[in-house]
Amino acid sequence: VEKARRLRELLVSPRPAQVVGAHNGLTGVLAEEAGFDALWVSSFEMSASRALPDTSLLTMTDYLGTAAQVNRATSLPVIADCDTGFGNALNVAHTVREFEAVGIAAICIEDKVFPKVNSFSEHDQPLVDREEFAHRIAVGKQAQHDPDFVLVARTEAFIAGYDTAEAHRRAHAYADAGADAVLVHSKESSPWQIEEFLAGWNRRVPVIVVPTTYNNWHIDEIGLAGVSMCIYANHGLRATVRSVRQTFTAIREYGATAKIESSIASVPEIFAIQNLDEWLSLE
Ligand code: SPV
Ligand code: MG
Burial bucket for residue 75 (CB in 10 Å: 0-12, 13-18, 19+): exposed
Distance CA 14, CA 174 (A): 23
pLDDT at 222: 98
The three-class DSSP label of residue 82 is coil
Which residues are 110's β-sheet partners?
Answer: 154
Question: How far does residue 58's CA lie from ligand 2's centre (Å)?
Answer: 12
pLDDT value at residue 202: 83
Closest CA to 4 of 181, 146, 176: 146
Q: Give yes or no for residue 21 CB within 6 A of ligand 1.
A: yes
Encode pLDDT of 163-182 as tens digits: 999 999 999 999 999 999 99
- C-beta of 56 in contact with ligand 1 (< 6 A): no
Ligand 1 atom, smallest distance to 185 CA: 9
Which sign, positive or negative, has the C-alpha torsion 86, 100, 120, 197? positive
Q: Exactly one of 37, 54, 81, 180 is catalytic; which is it?
A: 54
In terms of phi and psi (left: phi > 0; alpha: psi -120 to 50; beta: otherwise), the region of 203 is left
Ligand 1, atom 10: nearest CA belongs to which residue? 119
Mutate to test the pocket of ligand 1, among 66, 185, 186, 215 (most ligand atoms within 8 A of CB): 185
Q: Is 212 a pocket residue for ligand 1 (Cβ < 6 Å)?
A: yes
Give pLDDT, residue 204: 84
3 state DSSP class of 45: helix
Give the number of other Cβ atoms within 10 Å of residue 39's Cβ: 27
Could you give phi then psi for residue 107, rounded to 5 degrees?
-120, 155
54 counts as catalytic: yes
* Whether residue 1 has pLDDT greater than 80: no
Residues 28, 46 contacting (CB under 8 angstroms):
no
Query: Tens digit of pLDDT for each residue in 6-43?
Result: 999 999 999 999 999 999 999 999 999 999 999 999 99
Pocket test for ligand 1, best of 82, 118, 212, 232 (most atoms within 8 A of CB): 118
Helix (H) / strand (E) element for 253: namely helix 235-254
